[in-house]
Amino acid sequence: MILATLALIAYAGVIVEAAARATSVAALIGALGAVGVLMLVFVLWRADDELLPWALLLAGLGYGLSLAVRHGGVAEGAPLVGAGLLLCGELVSWSLDERFAIEADRSIVAARGGALAGLVLGGVLLGGLVLAVAAAPLGGGLGWTVVGAAAVVALLGLAARLSRS
Amino acid sequence: MTRIDSSRIVAYAGLAAFGLVAGLVAGRVELVAVAAPLALAAVVGAGLVRDPGVSATLTLDRERALEGDDVGGTIALSSAAPVDRLELYVSLPRELQLVEGNPRAISLAASRTLDVALRCERWGAFAVGPVALRARDRLGFHSWEAVAGGAQPLRVYPSAETVRALLAPLETQVFVGNQTARTKGDGIEFADIREWTPGDRVRSINWRATARRGELHVNQQHPERNTDVVLFLDTFTDVHHGMRGTLDMTVRAATSIAHRYLQRKDRVGVVSFGGFLSWLLPESGTRQLYRIVDSLLQMDVVLSFAAKGIDILPPRTLPPKALVLALSPLLDRRSAAALLDLRARGFDLVVIEVSPVPFVDPGAGELAQLAYRLWRLSRESLRMRYEQAGVPVVTWQDGQALNVVLEEVTAFRRHAVLTRA
């Protein structure tokens, strides 16, 4: 129950962040977020994680929408939004794992919590690194686009390999 | 081990790729930054694929236990690689419980021995194990499942109730035992005095009676003989509520009675009369007790519509002059008829009715109540039929001491003798 609540809080945090930064489309972002929350509640209630990626995608779309209407410089909070989505997904998954009444050593629970914290922190740092690299005067152009495309291909390849195995 | 991947790695990879494409198309680096943690999770998840190769061996300290005992055992675990979270589930029948909790999760470095304690909550012949294993990485991205350890046999014997007084059969057998026979012969228990006849031993002369009557008189004794007891168990039906039921009570009573009779050097046999017919010829001794209890552990209700009578039993299972102690819920017509047939053949029969009434819900409706009352009446009628045939029938309710029931039979028999006199 605690994990599920924390997951919902993380999700709500992302939605609030997106809506606060773009008040003109706050209602639309709120609607997307509400649907996403309903999906998360369904996932937690039915212990079926099929809708989890869709809920995360809706939150991501909401944030993308807020970026689209936003004027000004780079949003520094983007890595935190990504980390929030990751945290939400992991907490939901952990909550579903804990549905089975399995007596576990306290050290195992602590180890998973630590690993999750490390993963989220690493995600924030990586996101921050991306923003830092973008802000640095390294020049733009085709090279970065190729790097981005290669990353996309690598991720899709990884997803395809894992979904096949 | 069978590997199972969490679907969320694929989801993270897909979402990250979507974010990167959106960032590239829209030219917004923030979207790439949002995608970065998800991409990192996908890569970390993919990197955690490593089969730990866990194996387990389950051993129990002993193969036999008494109801209520705790049986110790060990699960020896080993793995090729460290496992952050290993979930274990020992496959157990509901009559056995693991004291430490089942399932449980532990961490495993390379090898580890887990001590387990099994609480035997009810009698029976069980198979403990195998052990189901699930190894997971620290973040739960991948899991590996296997079944190991095999099944270990465990026999849990029912706890025997202390039976103080046993039923004395009407007739004894020819072998030496602890039961005082009704006949006269060599023994310890004084029976009568009679006139001396040639061949009588001098030491049996009753000198007081001889002096008083002026003729030689000798003492007569009741010899100590053994008896044959056949436990006739009706296993056609079982009415139960939870773990308690008529079959459970039957097995417990049979164990206690067999134990006590065998202690008295009597010969005890068992006939399980039900869908599945089984028997043990009357024997005496400790080995016979183990044979009986082992056969009782296997006892179960097998649905059968085949008409069965006592003719199908081998003749030696029911020796002449044997006391037949029937334990029956008196629910199946076949067993009821078989018992009346036994009585008609002259067997010394006692029926202990293992009452199913406490386990039956009478129902709430008027019709259900009427059916319940009719059912109780039909049972009364059946009991009357037995009593008219000279068979003592006593009802044994759940929670009642077996001693009370046996005393009731003794009282019935005593009353019957007085009436005849």
Tell me whether residue B219 is exposed, middle or buried, using C-beta atoms within 10 angstroms of its C-beta: 0 to 12, 13 to 18, 19 or more.
middle
Rounded to a whole number of angstroms, the distance from the CA of A20 to the nearest CA of chain B is 16
Q: What is the DSSP letter of A75?
A: -
Residues from chain B that touch A75, judged by Cβ atoms under 8 A, are 30
Task: Give residue for tokens 């020796």.
Answer: B319
Name the nearest CA neighbour of B343 among B355, B359, B326: B326
Are A104 and B40 within 8 A, CB to CB? no
Tell me whether residue A156 is exposed, middle or buried, using C-beta atoms within 10 angstroms of its C-beta: 0 to 12, 13 to 18, 19 or more.
middle
Q: For residues A128 and A164, which has the higher predicted lDDT (pLDDT)? A: A128
Residue in A67, A123, A161 nearest the CB of B41: A123
The answer to whether B212 touches B205, Cβ cutoff 8 Å, is no
Mean pLDDT of all residues in B103-121:
88
- Closest A-chain CA to B48: A162
Q: What is the 3-state secondary structure (H, E, C) of chain B?
A: CEEEECHHHHHHHHHHHHHHHHHHHHCCHHHHHHHHHHHHHHHHHHHCCCCCCCEEEEEECCCEEECCCEEEEEEEEECCCCEEEEEEEECCCCCEEECCCCCEEEEECCEEEEEEEEEECCCEEEEECCEEEEEECCCCCEEEEEEEECCEEEEEECCCCCCCCCCCCCCCCCCEEEEECCCCECCCEEEEEEECCCCCCHHHECHHHHHHHCCCEEEEEECEECCEEEEEEEECCCCEECCEEHHHHHHHHHHHHHHHHHHCCCEEEEEEEECCCEEEEEECCHHHHHHHHHHHHCCCCCCCCCCCCHHHCCHHHCCCCCEEEEEECCCCHHHHHHHHHHHHCCCEEEEEEECCHHHCCCCCCHHHHHHHHHHHHHHHHHHHHHHHCCCCEEEECCCCCHHHHHHHHHHHHHHHHHHHC
Mean pLDDT, rounded, of chain B = 87
Phi and psi (nearest 5°) for B411? -65, -40
pLDDT in tens, B166-212: 888 888 877 777 778 888 888 888 989 999 999 988 888 999 999 99
pLDDT in tens, A14-41: 899 888 888 888 899 999 999 999 999 9
Question: Of B86-90, B183-187, B319-323, B338-342, which range is least confident?
Answer: B183-187
Position B42 pLDDT exceeds 60: yes
Are B42 and A158 within 8 A, CB to CB? yes
Position B416 pLDDT exceeds 70: no
| pLDDT on residue B173 | 78
Are A155 and B40 within 8 A, CB to CB? no
Residue in A52, A107, A122 nearest the CB of B8: A52
Residues from chain B that touch A159, judged by Cβ atoms under 8 A, are 9-10, 13-14, 17, 42
ipTM of the complex, rounded to two decimals:
0.89
Are B28 and A67 within 8 A, CB to CB? yes
Q: Does A121 touch chain B (CB under 8 A)?
A: no
- Closest A-chain CA to B11: A53
Which run of H or E residues covers position A79? helix A78-97
Q: Indicate whether this model's pTM tops 0.90.
A: no
Residues from chain A that touch B18, judged by Cβ atoms under 8 A, are 57, 60
Are B40 and A119 within 8 A, CB to CB? yes
Query: pLDDT band for position A138 (50/70/90)?
Result: low
Query: pLDDT band for position B419 (50/70/90)?
Result: very low
Chain B interface, mutation test: which of A109, A119, A158, most B Cβ atoms within 10 Å?
A158
pLDDT in tens, B132-150: 999 988 888 888 999 987 8
Q: What is the DSSP letter of A103?
A: E
Q: What is the DSSP letter of A141?
A: S
Are B24 and A148 within 8 A, CB to CB? yes
Within its chain, how far is the Cα of B39 from the centroid?
58
Task: Give residue for tokens 């804990």.
Answer: A98
Are A148 and B14 within 8 A, CB to CB? no
Task: Name the A residues in 46-85 with CB < 8 Å from any B CB.
Answer: 49-50, 52-53, 56-57, 60, 63-64, 67-68, 74-75, 78-79, 81-83, 85
Rounded CA separation B177/B169 (Å): 13
